[in-house]
Amino acid sequence: MRIEEKIKAMGLELPEAPVPVGAYIPVQISGNIAYLSGQTSRINGVRRYVGKVGDTVSEEEAYLSSRDACLNCLAALKAAIGDLDKVKKTLKLVGFVNSAPGFNQQPRVINGASDLLYELYGENGRHARSAVGVQELPFHASVELEMILELKTSEDM
């Protein structure tokens, strides 16, 4: 089953590729490595799960925020390469969690993205990862993700 079909089968939807809100590009490709800029859970321009995790955003909502930020990463990647089935492997995921004082479950929050990548790509969706608590994120987002992925070469197709 193709990746976008899997997303739909999970009851999810690939959003429109997010428009950058700063002076950067969403995806930088070097060779067969794609570097994805940070994405939040702003889906089709609507900010979701805004605030500090452990205060105004629950751990469960933050998990969903992480999943939605991952969908935005995938949407940006699709806009850059045209087909999510061109992903060979997820190499690295970095997750930033806008954490209230005392909140220390960042790994559980970022599992929202990690679980999605595993469900979509199987073992090739497993990755190295960091889950970091931060004091603030842009626009009060609860989660921001960045990713590094290996793309298939012509030999892999």
Kindly list the domain boundaries of the chain, sorted by start residue: 3-19+26-151
What pLDDT does 154 receive?
A: 86
CA gap 157, 151 in Å, rounded? 10
Domain 3-19+26-151 has CATH 3.30.1330.40: yes
Q: Is the pLDDT of residue 45 over 80?
A: yes
Query: Which residues have CB under 8 Å from 32's CB, separation 6+?
Result: 88, 150, 151, 152, 153
CA gap 63, 3 in Å, rounded? 21
10 Å Cβ neighbour count for 30? 7
| Mean pLDDT score, 82-90 | 98
Q: Between these two residues, 102 and 155, which has the higher pLDDT value?
A: 102
Q: Is the pLDDT of residue 148 over 80?
A: yes
pLDDT, tens only, 48-70:
999 999 999 999 999 999 999 99
